[in-house]
Amino acid sequence: MLLTKIHALLRRTYTYQQADTDRLTHRDLTLNVKKAALSTPEGEIELTKNEFRILCVLLERKSEIVPRDELITALWEDENFIDDNTLTVNINRLRRKLGEYGMVGYIQTKKGQGYILS
């Protein structure tokens, strides 16, 4: 668990300072990290802070399954007071927003493992 926290902290610290990560893309999604804006062929999607962070982590590791505990650590540095359901609610809201723009099935749940972009 400590290694997960350290990894998340290092990723947040160094990712936002690199010029080549200003835009993260996957299929029809483009996330402008500096502007916190998500673009699709249908238009721009307004994201909450947590939805933005979830997408950042998933897009940075788009070919990997991201464990739930890593997402929780990336969103809330001290997850001691976070209910496990809180992440599920945020993922479902993000899925609903993506679905409204025709982006159904982009975030897949891997039971017992975490989430991955499809």
What confidence tens digit (pLDDT) does each residue in 47-101 have?
Answer: 898 898 999 899 888 889 999 988 888 887 765 666 778 889 999 999 999 998 8
Q: Give start and end residues of each alpha helix (H) in the chain.
A: 2-15, 49-60, 68-75, 84-100
Give the amino acid at 21.
T
- pTM, two decimals, is 0.74
Residue 20 lies in domain: 2-117
Residue 19 has what pLDDT? Answer: 45
Of 78, 68, 59, nearest to 5 (Cα)? 78
Residue 43 has what pLDDT? Answer: 84
Number of domains making up the chain: 1
Instruction: Go through the chain and tell me how many residues it has.
Output: 118
Q: Which pLDDT tens digit goes with each residue over 17-29?
A: 444 568 888 888 8
The CATH number given to whatever domain includes residue 60 is 1.10.10.10
